[in-house]
Amino acid sequence: MALDYMLKHRGFPGRLSGTDFQFTLRRANPKGATPLTQRERRSDRRAPDKRADIAFMAALWEHFGDQPFERGNLDAGRLSWLFGREVLPATDPFDPANYESMLVINESAARAAFPEAFGD
């Protein structure tokens, strides 16, 4: 049942520069994609975690804008901090454990949560 196809988003940053905060995967997990889950962001999160969220949202917006996009090699952990609020399923039904699942940015929620990511 493992899926060995994983779209690699060329030009998407692999990590937050100067940190170990990963944005993309190098290769598909032979056991299958890690399921996306909605992680709660608390107001007392560390500044580096917040910077990673802002940078990841900025990269998502730069690469995909308001158009649906395939999950592909985007890191499940990083996506899960945004999933269910700023990043939503683009299809119904939605498989949270599939590299080919389609997502879309909830622009109004993303702009409210991460205004710095949009450069307005």
Least confident of 19-23, 35-39, 102-106: 19-23
The pLDDT of 8-13, averaged and rounded, is 91
pLDDT in tens, 59-116: 999 999 999 999 999 999 999 999 999 999 999 999 999 999 999 999 999 999 999 9
**How far is 9 from 29, CA to CA, in rounded Å?**
16
Instruction: Indicate whether this model's pTM tops 0.75.
Output: yes
15: confidence class by pLDDT, cuts 50, 70, 90: confident
- Positive/negative CA dihedral, 63, 42, 96, 94: negative
